Structure 1
Amino acid sequence: MMPVLNSTKNLEILEPPTATREGVGVFEYTDHFTVFHYGRMPDPIPGKGEAICRMAVFNLTMLEAAGVRTHFRRFITPNRIEFDLARVPGPGTGPLTPGARNYLVPVQVLFRNELPQGSSVHRRLASGELTPAEVGFDRIPAVGEKLQQPLIEYASMLEDVNRFISAPEAQRLAGLSDEQFQTMCNTAVKVNEVLTGHAREVGLSHSDGKAEFLLSSDAHVVLADSPGTPDESRLLCGGLHCGKQVLRNWYVDNGFEVPVSRLIAESVPRSQWPRPARLPPAFLPVMSNLYRSLSETWTGERLWNAPDLQTAVQDVARLIGQ
């Protein structure tokens, strides 16, 4: 299987897609993690891939049952899924032609239910990129504050560093008709509702997340990738992060953030980028327990005899000094 750029998954193409027919692909979920748009960081986390994969399978099955059409075909134990494979627009392709079919939509739809630590909304409010009114407030919201209603945003998806875009630009880049674009938006809202409801049932908070889509060969908008996993959503237990925000915070707090945006803006070749620092060894078993415990809590499967989630989260909190 070949690595997918800036992804924690490897891709195997069983049948290549064409302009008129879906192909068949297999994702292998690895133990890697990514932060800062750098790509895979140096330290694999044992068991993360299988834990994420099982959550993805659970969520795609749950969403199908709720009436959401997805690209999911079958689960291949322990850490792979088979799925309908669409064509991927190449770098620099530009806006897609209306009427084209069977392609990965180069736009992601983001949904926000609250504003935890790490949310880009705080940075964008501070810089003036967003106003409080655009987020539904008459003042600067506090860290962790809940939104009165979910905030839907759009971002590019296949650029070196993805950027927030308006709804009209998202539709233009995606090459979708008015009806298709509205379907994509409505589907993202439905996905958020289902995931947020399930999180609440198992004692978690689904703070924010994203949905990715493909346009099928019969011109239907289809949910893709791995919605609701900690690689795609911020899930909190008792106000503490259950995913890679913990790792991102460690890098930032210790001055090890990789300045990818600046490196790209300055045209520094990737071969000359600084190598990220390695995590302290103590992080790996604690994060491994966190991902496995989260997966067991979310899916109801007991596979690893992981500690209960509150214990796993508290172990992380002690590790990072919270």
Structure 2
Amino acid sequence: MPSNPRSMMPVLHSTKDLQIVEPPTATREGVGIFEYTDNYTVFHYGRMPDPIPGKGEAVCHMAVANFAMLEAAGMRTHFRRFIAPNRIEFTLARLPDLTARPFTPEQGNYLIPLQVLFRNELPPGSSVHRRLAAGELTPADVGLHVIPVVGEKLERPFIEYATTREDVNRFIAPGEAQRLAGLDDEQFEAMRETTVKVNEVLTGHAAKIGLSHCDGKVEYLVAGDQELVLADSPGTPDESRMMFNGVHCGKQVLRDWYVGSGHEIPVSRLIAEGVPRSQWPQPAPLPPAFVPVMTDLYRSLSEAWTGERLWDAPALETVTRAVTEIIGK
């Protein structure tokens, strides 16, 4: 590692800070460090005003455990090493220039500008319900014959694609996703099949500890040898929607409070109307009693997921009851 690595740079739409240790080039992969912060994001607004103490460390431990599980299942990831208490070192790829022709695997070493999403259930808060109601999706698109009810479990998971480099990410058709990824038919299918396998591994683990893994997303990079590599932090509560006894275990709890209390920030409308970000309204802070409950939730989820008793957090059953009570207030 160089003696003077670059300082941590916040990624305002992310819950992680990035340190570039060795920048990637056209011929060499780089090295980066993610610091998992106590920030959370909702509504595409970016970082919200209240940190959740302990969240970053809890999520980081889940990410490290997931990289180990996925690699044991034969998948290649960008993970290099854990740096206690809340950082990981990872393989850093180039960001493609979206105004030019897409990168292709022959050019190697680039981050694919896509989220690949998998859905197993359609719980409260799933965007599928809104998109079906708006006519942006049909039941056939999600493998159903009729409009699904809230909470419906799908007979088989389905895969979707969304952009990652826009102010508000868009769901896109597979054809546009393949073009953005710069992959041929075989490579694009390999990415889909890997996503299905990621889902199987993470959903199977969740079931063992009594969690419903409703949906999630993964990202990929193309390595210098032209092979697909799992990136980001699959299977963490920032990337997956998990529920315990019908209660959300992640940022959907925070979304629900903002919506239920009338404090939702209408980011999509603000962007559509061309309102400069500097003129957006400031989000309301969370009620003081809410924050320690969320700390317990993230720590309890992490301990249940990893089997590590680092904070002696309350059991998930206890914490999710507290979540239900505070959301109802």
1:114 paired residue among 118, 121, 135: 121
State, as a whole percentage, how many aligned pairs show the same letter: 72
1:269 has 2:276 as partner = yes
Task: List per-residue Cα deviations over 1:22-65 (Å, max 9, x = no partner).
Answer: 10000000000000111000000010000000000000111000
CA shift at 1:108, angstroms?
A: 1.0
2:99 paired residue among 64, 83, 93: 93
Task: List per-residue Cα deviations over 1:239-272 (Å, max 9, x = no partner).
Answer: 1100000000111111111111111112211111
Specify the alignment match of 1:63 in structure 2.
70
Counterpart contact for 2:103–2:110, Cα < 8 Å: no
CA shift at 1:14, angstroms?
A: 0.6
Aligned residues: 321
Task: List per-residue Cα deviations over 1:156-183 (Å, max 9, x = no partner).
Answer: 1111110011111101011112222111
CA shift at 1:84, angstroms?
A: 0.2
Identify unmatched segments of 5+ residues in structure 2: 1-7
Specify the alignment match of 2:206 in structure 1.
199
Task: List per-residue Cα deviations over 1:120-175 (Å, max 9, x = no partner).
Answer: 00001111111112112221111111000001111111111100111111010111
AA aligned opposite 2:80: R
Counterpart contact for 2:96–2:103, Cα < 8 Å: no
The separation in 2 between residues aligned to 1:263 and 1:48, in whole angstroms, is 29
Counterpart contact for 2:118–2:158, Cα < 8 Å: yes
Counterpart contact for 1:113–1:150, Cα < 8 Å: yes
Matches for 1:215-234 after TM superposition, within 5 Å: 215-234=222-241
Counterpart contact for 1:94–1:173, Cα < 8 Å: no
SS of residue paired to 2:146: coil
Superposed structure 1 runs of 4+ greater than 6 Å apart = none
CA shift at 1:5, angstroms?
A: 3.0
SS of residue paired to 1:36: coil
The separation in 2 between residues aligned to 1:81 and 1:97, in whole angstroms, is 26
Alignment RMSD, CA only? 1.1
Change (3 A) 1:94 1:130: farther
1:127 has 2:153 as partner = no
Change (3 A) 1:274 1:94: farther
Specify the alignment match of 2:263 in structure 1.
256
Counterpart contact for 1:95–1:172, Cα < 8 Å: no
SS of residue paired to 1:137: coil
SS of residue paired to 1:279: coil
Matches for 1:109-258 after TM superposition, within 5 Å: 109-258=116-265
Counterpart contact for 2:18–2:33, Cα < 8 Å: yes
SS of residue paired to 2:64: helix
- The normalised TM-score by structure 2 is 0.96
The separation in 1 between residues aligned to 2:107 and 2:263, in whole angstroms, is 43
